[in-house]
Structures are given as structure tokens and as C-alpha cells.
Amino acid sequence: MAQQHTVETSATTARGHDVDTRPSWGRLAIFSIQHVLIMYTGCITVPLVFGAAAGLGSSDIALLISADLLVAGIITAIQGFGLGRIAGVRLPIVCGATFTGLTPMVLIAEKYGLQAVWGSMLIGGLVGIALAIPFSKIIRFFPTLVTGAVLTVVGLSLIGVAGGLIVGSDPKASDYAAPHRLILALVVVVIAVTLLVLGKGIWSRLAVLVALVVGTAIAAAMGMFHLDDVSNAGWVGFPTPFHFGAPQFPIAAIISMSIVMVVVFAESTASMLAISEITGKPLGPRDLTRGLIGDGLSGVLGGIFGGFPDTVFGQNVGAVATSRVHSRYVTATSGLILIVLALFPKMGAVIAALPGPVVGGVGLVLFATVALIGIRSLAQVDLGNPVNLTIAAVAVGAGLLPEFVPDMFERLPDSLQIIFGSGITLTAVVAFVLNLIFHHTPLKRRIEGHPDRDVTADRDTPNHITETTRDIDTVTTRELV
């Protein structure tokens, strides 16, 4: 099996890896648009929620959305195209605002004011850049056992998001969970599944985009596609630096946003390793360092323009898997499209008007795909080994707790809520810690010595990750950068 992997990898390298191959201009444009449509709603949700919680007016919220799209576009483009040897993981990932920083930002706004929100975010981004090199050294402690558990929880937790889009966000609304919303979502799912399974060539790869377009056309015929907000959006807009005033830097706020950045690193590391596994493109420590520097830059740019820290979007991980289009130039172009949408708010308003059941229908397929990729990854691990089985079970179980019981950790200190309030982060932390304890400490030898145990530390690590991390401890800081 290992020999077959080596031959395939060598062949791929000889002709140029799919990740580094640019499709034709037509395909490049259409697949890039597909990625934008998939992530757009999730990207603008964070500024909408924060703006409402902070009591901002519609004009300020519009500016937050533009800033959010601008930062997400810049970081996504950097992650795809790369920024020399400084930043960019050069994998097909799409970045957008993370909910991880939402609660701390609201609390900082209430206690210190808006100037402290973006001042602490700016410093938190700089702290993240400084931590990128040391953080990348722990890549060897993220084997398939860890990434598989994280991917499973990413997919399962996002299914709830898809369900919310399908039924609606307001339980008191007259059309909440109405049969016509469910039927529309079902039709979209049927279209996507039919094309994914029976479609040939380009039609299979564009299943999500076709389902979105056809579903929106059906929704328009049903009177469910409303463009009222488009007329209110401006034609041109550009986020101005420090719109809310000169940044302020309270120590407590800086510590809080620095913790947020570390949590974002954990999420992004797991997602980048997952994309590495999906595409078959090895992810080395230097690649991870550049990717994490990109996350840190999102904090710096967010602090300047009034945006938000970015992380890798799980729904686009699913899109890469289902479309089987692995080119990093596709997602990088998606970043350029996001920048254009940030500068022309009226265009973004059209995308934001896509009916919830349509987006939720395709989301259901994508998110479930992510979960199954995680399960498939876990299947590569020796789950007959009770240690591996226990680590996976506890990590997945713990990660689903915040999804099933959202207020479970609300009485914990704010700093702990940042970690435990996100199921994805909680899964990554639990899996990482348990794997570290049972596979990388003297306790491992005691377990191996037990007559009923047969633990092999590297058995659950894919070849392309093991090979790139074997000598990680000897890599110098100069080489990483």
C-alpha cells in the first residue's frame, strides 16, 4: 500500500501536482464563483451578528461587511497565490471570518469600546505572526487520528447551520419551517446529488453551482427570491482605516484576542492538514508556518480596516472534495472576487439575497461530505486499538457537546468560553492532548507493555504527513521562514 502511494505521488510530481495547476480561464472563473457562493452567507454572518450586538447602525454594519469581505479576499488570495516566502500555504482553501472571536469582541466592545476591539485584534494578529513558527512545530502531533476527529465534528456541526438556513432564522415568522421551504431544499439536494452521481465531466464538478442557480430560479418563481436590500446597497464602497477612531490597547482585551488567534491556529491547522490529505499535496512545517502567518495577517488587516480574524472555511473544504478541483488558483481567484464584492456592495447584496433553503440544501450535501471525509480518515486509523478508539470517541463526543447544548459552558470564564464554546476547537484540543499523552509520553511504553495492547504510534499517520514531519525538530527558524 505504501509503495503504491509513493508511485502515485512521484507520478503526480512529474507532471505537476493538481494543486499547482491552473485550469482554463473559463473553468477558473466558474469554479471560483462556486466557492464564493458557498461561503458568502457564512462570511457576512459574523459582521451582521457583531453589528447587532454592538448596537451599530445600518451604515456601520455595511462597512463591517465590506471590511470583512476585503480582509477575507486578501487572505484567501494570499493563501492560494502565496506571498513569496513570507505567507500563504499554497493550498486550495477559502478563508473567512470566524465565530471564535465573536463573543470576546462583543465583551470588549461593552467594556472598553469599539476602538479597543480593533486595537486588540491588531495586536492579537501580530502575536499570531510571532507564534506561527513555534506553532508549526506541533504538526507532527496532528496525525490522521486528530484531523479525522476534527473533520468529523466540522461536518456534523455545520449540518445544523444548513438546517437553520432551510427552516429560517426566526421561529416566529409565518414561513418558519414551512413545507414549501422544505420542498425547495429537497429539490436542491436532489439536483446536486443527481449531478454528483450521474453527471459527467464538468457537470459533476459544477453540481453545487448548478443546484444553486436552478434552486434560485425555482425560488424566484415561488416568490421566495427578494432583492429589496439590493436597492439600499451602495454601488461603490471602500473600508476606511480606523473608521471607529484611533485604536486602543487594553491589556485584558489584547490577551483575549491573542487567545482567539491561538484557537484560530488550531482550527486552521486541522483544516489545512485535511486539505493536504484530500488533495494528496504534502504539508510541511514551512508551508504551515506561511499558512498561519496568513491567519495572523487577517488579524492585523482586520484591526486596521474594521474586519475580523479569518480561518479556513469548512464548507469550502467540502467543495474541494465534491468537485475534485484541487487547483489553488481557483480559490485564490475566489479571493479576488471577494475583494471586488467588498468594493461594490450592491453586487454582494445580490449574493446575500440567495434564498436560505437553496443555500441550506447544497450546504447539507457539502457538510455531510466533510463529516464522511473525517470518518473515512478515522477508518485509516487502527480503531481496533482501544487507545485510538478512545481518543477518537472522546474527542468527537466532546466536540459535539457545544452543538447539542449551546449554553453548556456559559458560566465559565470568558477565556475558557473561547476554547470550549466552539465544538471544532474543543475537538482539536481534546484529540491533540489525548494523542500527545498516550502516543508521545512515557505512558505510551506502559500501554505497549500491557499484554492486551498493541499500540503503534505512527500507524495512524499518512505517509505524506509522516515524511514531511519526521525531522521537524531539527528544522531551524531560518529554514521555516
pLDDT in the model for residue 419: 65
pLDDT in the model for residue 108: 83
> What DSSP element (H or E) covers 310?
strand 310-312
Rounded-to-integer distance, Cα 189 and Cα 198, Å:
14
pLDDT in the model for residue 481: 36
Rounded-to-integer distance, Cα 385 and Cα 267, Å:
26
* Residue 5 placed within a domain: no
Distances (CA, A) of 38 to 32, 65, 134, 305, 319: 10, 17, 33, 24, 8
* Residue 364 placed within a domain: no
* Residue 241 placed within a domain: yes
* Residue 208 placed within a domain: no
* Residue 118 placed within a domain: yes
pLDDT in the model for residue 2: 39
Rounded-to-integer distance, Cα 394 and Cα 387, Å:
11
| DSSP state at residue 87 | B
pLDDT in the model for residue 450: 60
The number of distinct structural domains making up the chain is 1
Distances (CA, A) of 432 to 269, 388, 420, 455: 12, 12, 14, 17
> What DSSP element (H or E) covers 95?
strand 95-97
* Residue 95 placed within a domain: yes
pLDDT in the model for residue 477: 37
- Nearest C-alpha neighbor of 75 from the set 276, 334, 324, 254: 334
Say which residue the cell 429560517 belongs to. Answer: 168
Question: Could you write out the DSSP letters of every residue in 132-185?
Answer: HHHHHGGGGG--HHHHHHHHHHHHHHHHHHHHHHHH-S-TTSTTTT-HHHHHHH
pLDDT in the model for residue 253: 82
* Residue 173 placed within a domain: no
Rounded-to-integer distance, Cα 145 and Cα 129, Å:
27
- Low-confidence stretches of the chain (pLDDT < 50) are 1-15, 454-481
pLDDT in the model for residue 1: 39
* Residue 365 placed within a domain: no
Rounded-to-integer distance, Cα 310 and Cα 107, Å:
19
Domain span at residue 130?
A: 14-160+224-358+371-472
pLDDT in the model for residue 141: 80
> What DSSP element (H or E) covers 311?
strand 310-312
pLDDT in the model for residue 4: 38
pLDDT in the model for residue 470: 39
